[in-house]
Amino acid sequence: MKHLRIGTRGSLLAKWQAESVRKQLFALAGVEAEIVIIKTSGDKMQQAPLSQIGGKGIFIKELEDALLDESIDLAVHSVKDIPTDVPRGLSFPAVCRRDDIRDCLISPTGSTLETLRQGARVGTSSLRRRAQLLRLRPDLDIRELRGNVDTRLRKVGDGEYDAIVLAKAGLDRLGSSQRISETFAPELFMPAVGQGAIAVETRLNDNETGDLLSKLDDPETRAAIITERALLGALQGGCQVPIGAWARVERGEMVLEACVTSVDGQQHVKQRLTGPPDQGVQLGEQMARLLMETGAQTILEEVGRQRG
C-alpha cells in the first residue's frame, strides 16, 4: 500500500479527527499516512455570519479540490459540513461510528438554559440552534459566534457571551467536556443532520484506498446518515436552514425524528417516522413531505425571503 496523504482543515478538532483516522488505518492495516493541512474558504471568512456567506460546502470545497487534483488521497470531514451534492468522481467509503449527537451549553457560571439570566447573550453561528434556543427561551439575546471550538471557548470564558452552544462530540474529542454546563436531550433540542459523525472521502477511481477505508465504515451509522441526508436533500437545505434531525436504529428499525423551526422560534414543526434500516432514502424523503405538509414549507419560504 502506498504512503497516504490525509487532507484536513487546520482546527484542533479537524486535526484530531484526521489523526483518529490515521491511527485507525495504521492499527487495521499497518498503513502509514501523513496529515496535510488545507485552509478552506469557511476558515478564511471568520468574521462574516455563516448565514450570509452560505453554508454549503464552505468547509470542504478546497479539500475536495485537493482530492480531485490528487494532491491528497483522502479527506476527513465532519458529516454535518458535507453538502448533499457530492462532486462527480468522489465517494465516501467510510462513515465512522457516530459519537454523541447532542448539543450542549457552556456557561462560565454553570448556568443551564433554564437558569440563564433574562436577556442573556448566547453565541451560536447556527440558524438551527438560534431557532431552537428562541423557541425555549424567547427572551435570549442570540449573537453571532464564529471561530473554531477553542476560539469559541475562549470567547465565552472572556465574558463576550453569557453562554454558547456547541456540539458535545467536539468537546469530548478535545477533552473539554468539563466545560459543559448542560447537555440537551435530543427530543428537546434536535441536532444537525450528521452531527457527531465523521466521514472519509476519496476518489472513486482509487479502488485501493477505497477498499482500505471501507474497513473503517460503521454500517449502522451509515444507514442513519443516509436517512438524515435524504431528508436534508429533499428539503433542499444547507447547514444554514433551521432543520434538526436524528435517525437511529432501535430494535431493528430505523427511527427518524425531525423538526423545522422558524428563526424567531415562534413556529415549530416536529414529526417522527419509522421504517426498514435499508430504506433510509425513502424514509428521509417521506419525512420531508410530511414536514412540508404540516407547516415546514411556510417556515422555509420565510427563511429564504430573509436571506434574499
Just list the catalytic residues: 81
Short-list 279, 235, 282, 240, CA closest to 258: 235
Look at the alpha carbons of 138, 140, 144, 150 in this order and tell me if their dihedral is positive or negative. Answer: negative
Q: Which of 58, 26, 28 is CA-nearest to residue 6?
A: 26
Q: How many CB atoms lie within 10 A of CB 262?
A: 22
106-124 exposure pattern, b = at least 16 Cβ within 10 A, e = fewer:
bbbeebebeebeeebbbbb
Cα–Cα distance measured from residue 173 to residue 12, given in angstroms and rounded to the nearest whole number: 10
Following DSSP, what letter does each residue of 141-178 receive, concatenated? EEE---S-HHHHHHHHHTTS-SEEEEEHHHHHHTT-GG
Q: For residue 138, what is its C-alpha cell?
A: 424567547
Residue 74 φ/ψ, nearest 5 degrees: -150, 155
C-alpha grid cell, residue 79: 458529516
Residue 61 CA to its chain's centroid (Å): 16
Tally of residues, the chain: 308
Q: What's the distance, Cα to Cα, between the start and end of the chain in Å?
A: 50
